[in-house]
Structure 1
Amino acid sequence: MTEYDLTPVQRVDGMLIKRDDLYAPFGPGEVNGGKLRQCVMLVKSVRDKYDSLLTYCSIHSPQAPITAAVAHAYEMPCRILYGGTSRESVASLPMPRLSMKYGATIVLAARSGRHSILHARAKELAAEKNSFIVQYGINLINHGDTLLTAVAAQAENLPDEIENLVMTCGSGITASGVMIGLHRYGKSVKHVHLVATAPDRRVFIHENLKQYGADREFEYHDLFHRPGFQYEKSVTARWGGISLHPHYEAKTMQWFKSSGLAPESTLFWITGAEPTNPARN
């Protein structure tokens, strides 16, 4: 499957599921999904201008191994910047370990893991080695058409009429792209439910939609600010035989099961699955 192929829509235990996790060009159990597709398209569009890749993110984020895997595929050096952590954590946690398996170099760049601090440090380090910075969420900055189109195209094989579309909302980029795709392909969706596992991105999403003439209302369900919510805490959830990502869709599935929405009138969008094969030869 290439980055331009449509991932399937399957009916599983009565509910339609968009299986973007089945975009897995590096093989079963490796990094996969819509964020990987975005990164592949992004790197393809810039690799002739840069000598290496650099990204910064939470130590629990799959953005690091995704960037590392794409860099490995295109034979580009890759650095991952983390803040507010230790070498012991890097050596023990799955996302940094998987990034290193793909050949990335880990840089403990700051005492704090705050986005603004890591971003400033990333700009300094990128200038030293002509590195392209993969921003938070696989960035839109100066590459909006590439990234949003990568997502929007996946709406083409959705049903023409949908009562409820449920999807996880983190950076808001995938959510923006999907709704642009709904507009582009004339899909009638009565209710778009965004289940937020990160800070509020509603203004950002509406700005993206307006740029493409696709602005619309959506229902926003904020998990991030609920008492006790922890991004880094894993949750186990399945639907049918599908294991859902413990930091993202599993939490959204928990919300769905208590939402009162009927599976038979819902399409559930899976952006990606947790890698299950961290060992590489």
Structure 2
Amino acid sequence: MNEYSLTPVQEVDGLRIKRDDLYAPFGPGEVNGGKLRQCVMLVNSVKKDYKSLLTYCSIHSPQAPITAAVARANGMPCRIVYGGTTRESVAALPMPRLAMKYGASIVLAARSGRHSILHARAKELAAQENSFIVQYGINIIGYGDTLLTAVAAQTENLPDDIENLVMTCGSGITATGVMIGLHRYGKRVKRMHLVATAPDRRGFIHETLKKYGADREFEYHDLFHSPGFVYEKPAAATWGGIRLHPHYEAKTMQWFRSSGIAPKSTLFWITGAEPRSPGQS
């Protein structure tokens, strides 16, 4: 399977599931999924103009190892910019360790892990070595062809009529691409459910959809601001033997199970699975 292949829609225990986690070009247990595809296509479109890659993110985010794996595949150096953490934490946590396994170097750039601070520091570092910055959420919004081929095109093999489409919403980029694809391929989805595990991205989503003539209504379920929600705290959920990502789809699946929405009328979108960290069986 290459980055242009359609990942399958499977019916599992009465629920239709888009298995974007099955895009795994580096092998079982390695980084995988729609975010990896976005990064592969994004880097393919810019690599002739840059010497290296750089990204900044939470120490729990798979964005770091995804960027590192794509850099290694292209023979490019890679730096991961973190803030608000220590060398001891970096050495112990799964995502930084996996990024280092793929050959990335770690830069502790700020006392704070705030997005705005890390972004400013990343721009300074990128200018020093002509590095391309992989933005928050592996942002492909400024790269229209990549947005359409990496995300929107994956809707082509969805059923033509869907009562409920349920997916996790973090940066909102994948959700936006999916809705552009629904419009592009004439897929009729009665209710689009975005389950938010990050700050509110509704304005960004609507603004981007309008640019593609694909704006639509969607139902927004805010887990991020719900009592007791912590992004860093993993959740456990499976469906029909499929183990869901503990920071993303597992939380969405917990919401879905309590929502009262019937599985038989639903398509559940899996963006990616948790990769194994070094030393994990």
Partner of 1:72: 72
Partner of 1:227: 227
SS in 1 for 2:48: coil
RMSD, aligned α-carbons: 1.1
The CA distance in 2 between the partners of 1:278 and 1:148, in whole Å, is 33
The CA distance in 1 between the partners of 2:132 and 2:28, in whole Å, is 28
CA drift at 1:145: 3.2
SS in 1 for 2:128: helix
Partner of 1:257: 257
Partner of 1:173: 173
Partner of 2:111: 111
The CA distance in 2 between the partners of 1:58 and 1:128, in whole Å, is 23
Partner of 1:16: 16
Residues 141 and 160 of structure 1, relative CA distance in 2, 3 Å threshold: closer
Between the aligned residues of both structures, percent identity stands at 84
Partner of 1:191: 191
The CA distance in 2 between the partners of 1:209 and 1:66, in whole Å, is 26
Residues 167 and 53 of structure 1, relative CA distance in 2, 3 Å threshold: same
Residues 169 and 83 of structure 1, relative CA distance in 2, 3 Å threshold: same
CA drift at 1:240: 0.3
Partner of 1:33: 33
| Structure 2 unaligned spans of 5+ | none
* Paired amino acid for 1:14: G
Alignment of 1:97-246 (within 5 A): 97-140=97-140, 142-246=142-246
> Any conservation in 1 of the 2:141–2:173 contact (CA below 8 Å)?
no
The CA distance in 2 between the partners of 1:78 and 1:25, in whole Å, is 19
Partner of 1:92: 92
The CA distance in 2 between the partners of 1:177 and 1:46, in whole Å, is 20
Partner of 1:4: 4
The CA distance in 2 between the partners of 1:204 and 1:278, in whole Å, is 36
SS in 2 for 1:258: helix
| Structure 1 unaligned spans of 5+ | none
Residues 277 and 84 of structure 1, relative CA distance in 2, 3 Å threshold: closer
* Paired amino acid for 1:10: Q
Which 4+ runs in 1 deviate beyond 2 A? 276-280
The CA distance in 1 between the partners of 2:148 and 2:156, in whole Å, is 14
Partner of 2:274: 274
> Any conservation in 2 of the 1:148–1:173 contact (CA below 8 Å)?
no
* Paired amino acid for 1:120: A
SS in 1 for 2:164: strand
The CA distance in 1 between the partners of 2:210 and 2:7, in whole Å, is 26
SS in 2 for 1:85: coil
